Structure 1
Amino acid sequence: MNDQKLAAAKAEPGSIGEHRSTPASTTRDSINPYVLLFFMLIAAAVATWLAPAGEFTRTIANGVSFVVPNSLKGMPQRGVLPGFVFVALARGMIKSAPIIFLILFTGGALAVIEATGAIRCTLNAIVKRDLSSRITTIVIVCAVFSFLGTLGVVNNSVVAFVPIGLLLAESMGLSREIGAGVIYLGTYSGFNTAILNPVTTGLSQRLAGLPMFSGMSFRIAVYLVFALATAVFLAIRTRAYRVSGEAQIGRHRIDEAAPSSSERLSVRHLLVVGILLVCLSVFVYGASSSHWAETEMIATFLVVAVASGIVGGIAPSKLADTFLSGCARLIHGALIVGAAQAVSIVLSSGKIIDPVINALAGMLAPLSPTFAAIGMFVSAALMHVGISSGSGESAVLVPIFAPLGDALHLTRQVSVQAVLLGEGFVNCFNPTSGVLMAVLATAGIPYSRWVRFVAPLLLVWFVICVVAIAIGVAIHWGPF
């Protein structure tokens, strides 16, 4: 492995919660998402002087504002001045403060858990459990990472676990693609639905005025289909694979990058994992019964961090340092929420966001609600190539898609899911994703070969997305 790839493989993988590019892991030719968002912000400001202004009539139901279809009324032009662009950035950060702190504290808590070694040792124990059955082992590891992905525990930090997949593949005479795929594809089969991920699902639902993590039953069903399809794909690839000289992985390269596996799984590690699961379960109950939201989830992650640090034997000062370093690793992904929110603020201040929605509704109106929702999904997928941050894209699209869905007689839950599935579908072949590029560099897999490897699974994922959206429209998936 050359020096450049070694540097990419050893780079800090970011952390947990969302799919994004980081300055340390972006490809040389990719555009920083903050730069892209700033250009979008300038374009939005210019558009307020050119596009016609107007506003929908809105009604309030259960504390949520809904658009009244076909109620757009024109108004005088309200172009914003250049200085307001920077005011909008400040307002976006302030308005997004609860989500920003939730993202930061998520990173802090999970950094503490990582420092205890609980996740690493648990995964190592699972990997070493049974190497005699290749397919059984591949499916088990895929299922574990899928579960971690849908909880938002392992997303960007998946890079750190890829060497485990490579060691697993080598021990069973399998290819690099299968070794990287069982970790990366497993994780993002869960991330596609992100049942309890506060940075994607939680953020999108709050932007749409939905209760946090509402609609979970249907989302769990979709998650299970994604996970099953991915496990079957990897099992078929494993069965069909024949060992070739080209497919062998140099053990010296893997041992150099692999996490230490000398530490054995202990009772202390199991207690840390138990604390995480119990706290998440308590929050799910609180969110469904008492309408817990960002504040309570921030508190939950504080409890997770403190309790895990104490049980894991981390000294108080080191615990605080570890928590803060975990927060720091997610600043890039957290602040992008506020930057993206600034785009919506500029469009709203210029009163042109409703005419944009009306124009989109006009284009989609001839379509059935099902095809309109699928159109939202495709739009979100294309947008994700430019904005590889899940939270950043949600902050841009959900404020537009939620009222657009109102105008097209779609539930807001369906509109939100169209955005989330669009983001999730693209992740595993997005050339602007720093996380994917880091994974491929670590595994020594050329991008073109990776795309050929995952192409059949991507086709299946696309079908699952379309069917899930169609079912959501048919059942009027809610609560609204």
Structure 2
Amino acid sequence: MAEETTMESSARAPKGRKLPMPDVFVILFSFMILVMILSHIIPAGSYERIQKNGLTQVSTDSFQYIDSTPLGFLDLFTAIHQGLTGASSIIFLILVVGGALKVIESTGVINKGIYRLIHLAKGRQNILIIMFCTTFAILASVGIAPNLAIAFIPIGLLLSRSLQLDPIVGVAMIFLGAYAGFSGGVFDPVVTVTGQKIAELPLFSGFLFRGVIFLVFLGITIAYICRYARRIKQDPDSSLMGSATMASRQEKDDLEAAPMLSLSHKAVLLLIPAAIGAFLYGGFNFGWGIKELSAIFIILGIATAMICRITPNDFVKRMMAGASEVMYGALVVGVAAAVIVLLKQASLIDTIVHSIVNSLDSHGKIMAMQLLYAFNLTFNGLITSGTGQAAIVMPIMVPIGDMLEVTRQSTFITFKLGDAVTNIITPLSGTLMACLAIARVSYVAWFRFVLPLALIWVVVGGIFVAVAVGINYGPF
């Protein structure tokens, strides 16, 4: 990987601007300070939680203001510890994945595999972007959490460099592809199942409409990335990260000059989809989660070492080198979680939910659902966990939809679209920040790149909400 630099150095400041781009940790700590200030202004509130069908749900009529617990200076720093420990599973996953992929990358198989992929596509970047975006969209739509995108960012970076494109493209074709698929959640056994279960809908019902959402969001995303890639290929200086971040012709020639894949390399390439397939099978049949995914990547690293005859000591060194390269991104996840810790400590989340829900009174069906959609977009900027948001919001949305005589499937899709869109831009998303940290893309550069796409997604999502309400989107 390239010589380590700070994230802000990967984006060039406009001419005449002397202030440096803020590091992601600075942005997140600013959010923490804002929450501390708000805890002294906004009254605390709480909904009663009840257990129903094994799920923790909100009792919709139980909101009450409670004694405020304003946050103090020390809380800012203890929250960082709590955020890191609370996000320990995903942090460990990032370190393990970084280590395992470093072992695989060190064998040369990734470079050679990408070269073969480029050769088969005859160097046509649009075909490669379509292939990567579609692959990760399908994975996300069937329940592979978009968090998995973190593991493949290094591969996306190698591909973008081999095509003489900037790291933004490498992140986008994987990360945005995953969230384009997540927007529809066609057969997502986690968020879709959780939301539909709370809404008392048949599980996976309404999949045809969600399939249309999947195709539209994916098509828009692919077109957007291809347009940006074509622009910077024609004019490298138009890259939001500057032409210096793009591979030189010599680097491209070096990659293409790599020898053909050996038998051991082919075996390693087969191991990667086999590992993902094993996790898919375990996820659907045995309820596997992050700890099993971490275990699979450890096994993948060990199996690669055995096939390529890497000594045990060398294996450990390569694992540690890979883990150190993604340490920045792993710590970002914990600090992002610290913001949520502060919101919970100050009991502000339920107050925010209650205030926004009250604003939906006295509106027609479509307008009320559009406002509910807007609320979800905003709320998802704070609570990026789909299951967490479903547990808090869906029990409140369902009775509102019933009172508006809106089908529960329409209420659910309003939640689902609101849950998906802002994940690609909110700095509170641990997945996004980890991907950017691994790729050394500054949040400011990413924000400038993705903002138009996020606005398009917001508008398209609103159209789908209006259509769902208009056609009385039913259970099937």
Partner of 1:173: none
2: CA distance, partners of 1:361 / 1:98: 33
Unaligned runs of 5+ in 1: 1-8, 14-20, 167-175, 196-200, 384-391, 441-446
Please state if 1:403 is matched with 2:392: yes
Q: Which residue is equivalent to 1:143?
A: 130
Which deviations, in whole Å up to 9, do the C-alpha atoms of 1:370-411 show, x marking residues without a partner?
A: 424531464379x5xxxxxxxx9736x985675134322287
Partner of 2:405: none
Deviations 1:427-466 (A, max 9, x none): 9xx9xx96799789xxxxxx89x96xx9997776555544
Alignment partner of 2:10 out of 10, 25, 30: 25
Aligned to 1:422: 422
Match of 1:311 in 2: 307
AA partner of residue 316 (structure 1): P
| 1:327-378, Cα deviation, whole Å (9 max, x unpaired) | 2222222222322322222232233321122112223456657424531464
Q: Which residue of 2 aligns with 1:160?
A: 158
TM-aligned CA deviation for residue 97 of structure 1: 1.4
1:115: Cα distance to partner?
2.0
CA drift at 1:145: 2.3
1:52 corresponding residue in structure 2: 43
Number of the residue aligned with 2:373: 374
When residues 76 and 87 of structure 1 are mapped into structure 2, their CA distance, relative to the original with a 3 A threshold, is: same
Show the counterpart of 1:90.
81
Q: Mean alpha-carbon deviation: is it higher for 184-193 or for 348-357?
A: 184-193
Does residue 1:192 correspond to 2:179, yes or no?
yes
Partner SS, residue 335 of structure 1? helix
Could you say if the C-alpha distance between residues 439 and 162 of structure 1 is closer, same or farther in structure 2, counting changes exceeding 3 Å?
A: farther
Return closer, same or farther for 1:455/1:271 CA change in 2, 3 Å cut-off: same
The 8 Å contact of residues 118 and 273 in structure 1, kept in 2 or not, is answered as: yes
Q: Which residue of 1 aligns with 2:354?
A: 358
Contact map agreement 1:156 1:435 (CA 8 A) in 2: no
| 1:224-243 matches, cutoff 5 A | 224-230=215-221
User: For residue 35 of structure 2, what is the amino acid of its counterpart?
Assistant: A
Shift of 1:286: 1.4
The residue number in structure 2 matching 1:394 is 384
Q: Is the 8 A contact 1:204 1:394 kept in 2?
A: no
Residue of 13, 21, 41 corresponding to 2:32: 41
Say which SS state the counterpart of residue 260 (structure 1) adopts.
Answer: helix
Cα distance in 2 for partners of 1:31, 1:55 equals 35
Partner of 1:388: none
The 2-side partners of 1:47 and 1:99 are apart by 28
* Change beyond 3 A, Cα 1:413–1:64: farther
Q: CA deviation at 1:103?
A: 2.1
Over the matched positions of the two proteins, sequence identity in percent amounts to 20
Going from structure 1 to structure 2, the CA distance change for 1:156 and 1:73 (only over 3 Å counts) comes to: farther
**Matched position secondary structure for 1:154:** helix
CA contact (8 A) 1:163 1:259 kept: no
Q: 1:333 aligns with which of 326, 329, 332?
A: 329
Structure 2 CA distance, aligned partners of 1:143 and 1:317?
40
| CA positional deviation for 1:148 | 5.9
Are the counterparts in 1 of residues 10 and 440 from structure 2 also a CA contact under 8 Å?
A: yes
How many equivalent pairs are there?
418
Alignment of 1:432-443 (within 5 A): none
Amino acid at match of 1:192: Y
The answer on 1:119 being equivalent to 2:110 is: yes
Q: Note if 1:267 corresponds to 2:263.
A: yes
User: What SS does structure 2 have at the residue aligned with 1:313?
Assistant: coil
Query: Retained in 1: the 8 A contact 2:105–2:111?
Result: yes
Asked if the contact 2:369/2:414 (under 8 Å) is kept, the reply is no
State the shift of 1:265 in Å. 2.4
Structure 1 residues 109, 87: closer, same or farther in 2, change over 3 A? Answer: same
1:299 alignment counterpart: 295
Cα distance in structure 2, aligned partners of 1:120 and 1:326? 16
Q: After superposition, give the CA deviation of every residue in 1:12-69 in whole Å (9 maximum; x if it has no partner).
A: 59xxxxxxx9466365632222222223223323333332222111111243311122
Q: Do the aligned partners of residues 243 and 99 (structure 1) sit closer, same or farther apart at CA in structure 2, a change above 3 Å counting? A: closer
Matched AA of 1:107: G
**1:419/1:328 CA distance change after superposition, 3 Å:** farther
8 Å contact kept, 1:26–1:434: no
Question: Helix, strand or coil for the counterpart of 2:374?
Answer: helix
Root-mean-square deviation (CA, aligned residues, Å) is 5.0
Question: Could you say if the C-alpha distance between residues 401 and 45 of structure 1 is closer, same or farther in structure 2, counting changes exceeding 3 Å?
Answer: farther
In the alignment, the residues of structure 2 paired with residue 332 and residue 182 of structure 1 have an alpha-carbon distance, to the nearest angstrom, of 21
Q: Which residue of 2 aligns with 1:18?
A: none
